[in-house]
Copies of this chain bind each other. A is one copy, B any other.
């Protein structure tokens, strides 16, 4: 079976897990301790980061950007996920970029990066100032999501797309630690609850990572 080399808490891996689940593509998940020396993994991806997809035919697709576009081209089922017209596709990619780029740098890198990655990479101690900055920044993003989903059902319009899955993937990593102030953003919470209730989300909710305390509400559908 095809293999996704991933790390359970990595938001970029989570995005791909969600997309593959929505496309009903079976996959074996293999956790990579990417912060350790690992020659076998470096042969697959000299960059040393996850996710990496290994197909049955041994084709290797490296990185969430290449995998996302590959899945769209290789498995055109559920085409609506990435949009049908050039304009829809541009809007969906704008939002994917928003969460993978802007949200990641302003929030995830500061909160998750300090809390988890710094420890894994043995790269110094977490800075509470940086974490606080990330938790401050998340508010604008939760507000932005609320503003959009109050007008439309989903981020890019009337249908669920990879924009929603990308945003949810990033938020789910933070939510594992209880770092998302849902109650202040009810519209965003409703949107996230719709995503969390999908069967395709289940695998994420079952993640338990040793050494990282999971917030009690994390797996609950009613949170």
Residues of the B chain whose Cβ atoms lie less than 8 Å from the Cβ of A63: 93-94, 97-98, 101
User: Any chain B CB within 8 A of the CB of A74?
Assistant: yes
B70 contacts A86, C-beta separation under 8 Å: yes
Known: A70-B89, A86-B70. A94 touches B62 (CB 8 A): yes
Sample of 11 further A-B pairs with CB below 8 A, known A65-B96, A65-B97, A69-B69: A47-B94, A59-B87, A59-B90, A63-B94, A65-B93, A65-B101, A66-B89, A66-B90, A66-B97, A69-B93, A73-B89
User: Any chain B CB within 8 A of the CB of A61?
Assistant: yes
* Chain B proximity mask over A68-95: 1 for CB below 8 Å, otherwise 0: 0110011000000000001101100110
User: Any chain B CB within 8 A of the CB of A49?
Assistant: yes
- Complex Cα distance, B93 from A63, in Å, reads 8
User: Any chain B CB within 8 A of the CB of A212?
Assistant: no
Q: How many copies does the complex hold?
A: 2
Give the A interface residue count (CB, 8 A).
28
B74 contacts A86, C-beta separation under 8 Å: yes
Residue in contact with A65 in the complex, picked from B45, B62, B65, CB distance below 8 Å: B65
User: Any chain B CB within 8 A of the CB of A102?
Assistant: yes
Q: Which residues of A approach B to under 8 Å, CB–CB?
A: 45-47, 49, 59-66, 69-70, 73-74, 86-87, 89-90, 93-94, 96-98, 101-102, 144
Residues of the B chain whose Cβ atoms lie less than 8 Å from the Cβ of A66: 89-90, 93-94, 97
Residues of the B chain whose Cβ atoms lie less than 8 Å from the Cβ of A46: 144
Of A90, A93, A102, A144, most buried by chain B (CB within 10 Å of CB) is A90
Residues of the B chain whose Cβ atoms lie less than 8 Å from the Cβ of A73: 86, 89
Residues of the B chain whose Cβ atoms lie less than 8 Å from the Cβ of A93: 63, 65-66, 69-70
- Complex Cα distance, B94 from A61, in Å, reads 8
Of A59, A69, A94, A96, most buried by chain B (CB within 10 Å of CB) is A94
